[in-house]
A and B are shown apart, each in its own frame.
Chain A
Amino acid sequence: MASEIAPPWSKLQESLQKILTDSGGVNNALSNPSVQFLPHFLAETSAVSARERLGVYCDAYFLRILESLGSDFPTLKEFLGDKNFRHLIADYLKDHPSRFKNISLIGERLPKFVSRHPLNRKFGFLADLSRLEWEVLSCLYRDRLSPLNLESLRQIPEKSWPKARFILDPSVRFIELDWDVDRLWNERMLARAKKRSLKIKKSERSLLIVRDHQWVQVRALGLEESTALKRLRGGASLGNLCDFLENSRKFQVKPGAIQVWIRDWISSGVLKRLVFP
């Protein structure tokens, strides 16, 4: 075939891309007049037609991304089942084809997309669940500081503690949800039947997400603890925090609770550094 009748490089690729990303498949894509020229430029053998060859790439495009998103949102996929998850991802890809170099970033807009999808209207909590799973994945890609040296803490004079400012681990994230989907996530290793029997309820909650040495922890926080951590992250000293909680009518913090929190936050890797003015 003479090269002078070959399509321009960009036109060839744009047309091929259009065909391969058509969710209706190759035959549907080739019903579009703008790409009908392309099969004429494809070599075929008696055993395999040009359309079949295009079909290999077309199938691979969707299946590869489906598999990747299934790995990134395993609890969502498990809850929906293969058929519904496929349907969701096919719709998602139509609206949000990947523009990322790293395939693990494709799911960035999935939580927002899920919030508007009919499946979320049916089940109610899917947007929250997908948001949680995205935050977990994002947490893994954040750096983590080395653990706080407990021995060094013991040497700090008691009078210095009110001025102490805490540095939270860079991987710490807080999210506010309307449904108790963290129960589903924390029980994700259960058999599917048992997960299906978990009744997810509407329950406003604040979740703490933080990397540990193996993976990620997800924990629901009470209002007082959530407020305390966020104030510390905002730069409040320990003394400021104690004063705030003591004087606030909204919170009822039991005596000794802050010490218990600090101990938990250190052991769980939430608190990583102390600084003094």
Chain B
Amino acid sequence: MNQDRIKTKAQAFRDKKIVCGVGVGLRSVHYDHVLSRRPAVPWFEVISENYMGLRGDQGGRPLEILEEARRNYPIVLHGVSLNIGSADPLDKNYLNALKRLADRIDSPHVTDHLCWTGVRGQNLHDLLPLPYTAEGLNLISSRAAQIQDILGRPFALENPSTYLAFRHSQMPEWEFLAEAARQAGCGILLDINNVYVSAKNHGFDPVEYLRNIPADRVIQMHLAGYSHCGNLLIDTHDHPVSDPVWELYGEAVRLFGDVPTLIEWDDKIPPFGVLEKEAARAEKIRRKILGKRDCAALV
């Protein structure tokens, strides 16, 4: 990857602050509330696949809702089926559909996970772990660069929560993610809850993880809740953000500065006011560390 190109792309992330502050995931149970009440949320994130018109190019009600929401809010696309780490080739049809949607709603950037979701054409609808090897690094970085070119806008890789690791990994996840982003010239969506969950599941220091992520690559952060399952933590996205994760988020804000943050809640979704409270708590942490900031969410 050309060094000038990498620097140019890194600068582009810093300059293009189209979303800022603390956003919330837009889920179907809140559609009516968001469209009719217009809550004071600076931006939303949606799951790309739900709106991509993958049923023969018709988007139907979900896409209508999305477009109506987009009239009042910036919206960022976050996918779960990119399958960037799969032994299968990248799905060009999927990428083209993703680009069409991103253009349609003017998503400032697009994100998906550092993982694989299936091979031989199957989709397990889960974020499956990768070995962190030199081979994997070449695969991920070249694909991330390709994806970003196809999408025509910044692309960011999210660190997954993982429950197994590979003995033949050659580097820790933070090193792999940082280097993949550097080589690809892409961004990082840093999920603070996933850092914490993976740290507990594999026995590493979550703060060390954060300290090894290049600040100029982090274009968004996620916050979510987890559940306990025996001796493991599971990234269930069905609980409030836990106190240790709030603490880790504070560290992340100190390290990475004014990065848009999203409250993710995907299961057992509470009333919208609960998400707003979580967002308010995140904003309080940001203000305490960064000082008061005007949130000019540019459309």
| Interface residues in chain A, defined as those with a beta carbon under 8 Å from any beta carbon in chain B | 1-3, 5-6, 9-10, 12-14, 16-17, 20-21, 40-43, 45, 47-48, 50, 52-54, 56-57, 60-61, 64-65, 68, 97-106, 138-144, 170-171, 211
Contacts and interface: CB of A to CB of B under 8 A. Distances in A.
Contact of A97 (B55, B122, B128, B234): B122
Nearest to B117: A101
B164 A43 contact: yes
A102 B163 contact: no
Given A3-B168, A144-B64, A17 B124 contact: yes
A56 B234 contact: yes
A143 B60 contact: yes
Interface stretch (B129-137, B142-150, B270-278, B289-297): B129-137
B164 A6 contact: no
A218 to B, nearest CB: 16
Q: Is the interface of A mostly helix, strand, loop or mixed?
A: helix
Interface residues of B, number: 48
A42 B129 CA distance: 11
Contact of B167 (A42, A64, A143): A42
Given A1-B167, A13-B119, A16-B128, A101 B49 contact: yes
B116 interface: yes
A211 B229 contact: no
A135 to B, nearest CB: 13
A171 B134 contact: no
Given A56-B232, A102-B52, A41 B168 contact: yes
Given A45-B203, A142-B58, A53 B49 contact: no
B123 A56 contact: no
Find the residue from A41, A48, A102, A139 having the highest chain B CB count within 10 A: A102
Contacts of A2: 168
Contact of A3 (B54, B94, B120, B134): B134
Interface string B272-287: 0000000000000000
A53 B123 contact: no
Find the residue from A43, A101, A142 having the highest chain B CB count within 10 A: A101
B22 to A, nearest CB: 27
A14 B58 contact: no
A231 B155 CA distance: 49
Contacts of A142: 58, 60
Contacts of B55: 102, 105, 138, 141
A104 B230 CA distance: 30
A20 B119 CA distance: 12
Contact of B139 (A9, A17, A45, A101): A9
B125 interface: yes
A41 B167 contact: yes
Given A102-B49, A141-B55, A21 B124 contact: yes
Nearest to B169: A43
Nearest to A104: B50
Given A17-B122, A43-B167, 13 more contacts: A6-B133, A10-B119, A13-B119, A14-B120, A42-B165, A61-B125, A64-B125, A97-B122, A98-B122, A103-B49, A103-B125, A105-B54, A143-B59
B118 interface: yes
A57 B164 CA distance: 9
A64 B126 contact: yes
Contacts of B58: 141-143, 170
Interface in B108-122: 116, 118-122
Contacts of B164: 42-43, 50, 53-54, 56-57
A63 B125 CA distance: 11
A21 B124 CA distance: 8
B214 interface: no
B139 A20 contact: no
B119 A140 contact: no
Contacts of B135: 3, 9
10 contacts: A13-B128, A42-B167, A43-B166, A52-B230, A53-B163, A56-B164, A98-B118, A100-B123, A102-B54, A211-B61
